[in-house]
Amino acid sequence: MALVPVPRGPISDHVFAQLRDAIVSGGYRPDDALPSERDLAATFEVNRHAVREALRRLQQLGLVRVSQGGATRVLDWREHAGLDLILSLPGSGGALPVGTLGRDLLEMRACVGVDAARLCAERGTARARAAVRDAVDGYADLAPDLPGMAMANTTLWRRIVEGSGNTAYLLAFNSLVGAGAVPPQWRAAELLDVARHRRLAASIVAGQGRSAARLARELLTAPVADPATSRQVSRA
């Protein structure tokens, strides 16, 4: 993967994006040494500060190991990277060589959502359950405005995950939201299923964990339809 001079704009962002894509696409293999800061600055036609900032971000993602006075070595993203890598990828042109990434995100979304719904019902506080009840009302009132419902639905699930009391689930939820796990127009059937969302909220308010988990699974594993191609992706 050829590295090219950066265009106008945030300089370190362009350096970071090109190096990230070169690493995750296999242009640089694990344990390869990246060119020196001086050589990278010359290739990108930028100052060394921009290169250093880009390398710092790559290190934070778990893509490289920066050694003071030594070579910057590429790490295997499968062993060292976290969900933040996915958040950095929009606009990368599919650099990550994982053809099932969309499916994988949906499966993770379902796993987190189902168990969070159960936990929210079983150990959520009265205040947390009330927040879920209020959120489902706000979401339902927006039907059939799909974009508005999508935003309100995110708020509803945030209240459910918060109510679960699981901080790891909350951080994963934030990452999934940031990654845009699935466009709202692809999950129109899920978003427009107001009745099932109301039953989910009612189960949580009533403290019925098994029922809440079942309803969450039905919602989050429904087929996803791409309206541009009429293609359906099963998540069940």
Binned at pLDDT 50, 70 and 90, residue 56 comes out as very high
- Averaged over 187-215, what is the pLDDT? 96
Rounded to 5°, the CA angle 92-95-99 comes to 120
Let me know if 44 is exposed, middle or buried by CB neighbors in 10 A (0-12, 13-18, 19+): buried
Rounded to 5°, the CA angle 108-181-3 comes to 110
User: Residue 105 contacts by C-beta under 8 Å, 6 or more apart in sequence?
Assistant: 86, 176, 179, 181, 182
Q: Does pLDDT of 97 surpass 90?
A: no
CB 213 within 8 Å of CB 126 = no
Query: DSSP assignment, residue 33?
Result: B
Between CA 221 and CA 131 the distance in angstroms is 24
Q: How many residues does the chain have?
A: 236
Q: Does pLDDT of 230 surpass 50?
A: no
Q: Looking at residue 94, what is its pLDDT? A: 64
Between CA 225 and CA 232 the distance in angstroms is 4
Q: Looking at residue 1, what is its pLDDT? A: 56
Binned at pLDDT 50, 70 and 90, residue 95 comes out as confident
User: For the chain, give me the number of helices (H) and strands (E)?
Assistant: 12, 4
81-90: pLDDT as tens digits: 988 888 787 6
For the chain, how far is it from start to end, CA to CA, in angstroms? Answer: 37
Binned at pLDDT 50, 70 and 90, residue 225 comes out as low
198-209: pLDDT as tens digits: 999 999 999 999
Output phi, psi for 20, to 5 deg: -55, -50
Q: What is the pTM of this model?
A: 0.79
Contacts of 131-134 spanning 24+ positions with Cβ under 8 A: 131/159, 131/162, 131/163, 132/156, 132/159, 132/160, 132/163, 132/201, 132/204, 132/205, 133/201, 133/205
Q: Residue 171 corresponds to which tokens in the numbers above?
A: 């951080």
CB 20 within 8 Å of CB 28 = no
Query: DSSP assignment, residue 98?
Result: -
Mean of the per-residue pLDDT values for the chain?
88
Q: Which of 76-85, 101-110, 159-168 has the highest average model confidence (pLDDT)? A: 159-168
Q: Looking at residue 224, what is its pLDDT? A: 66
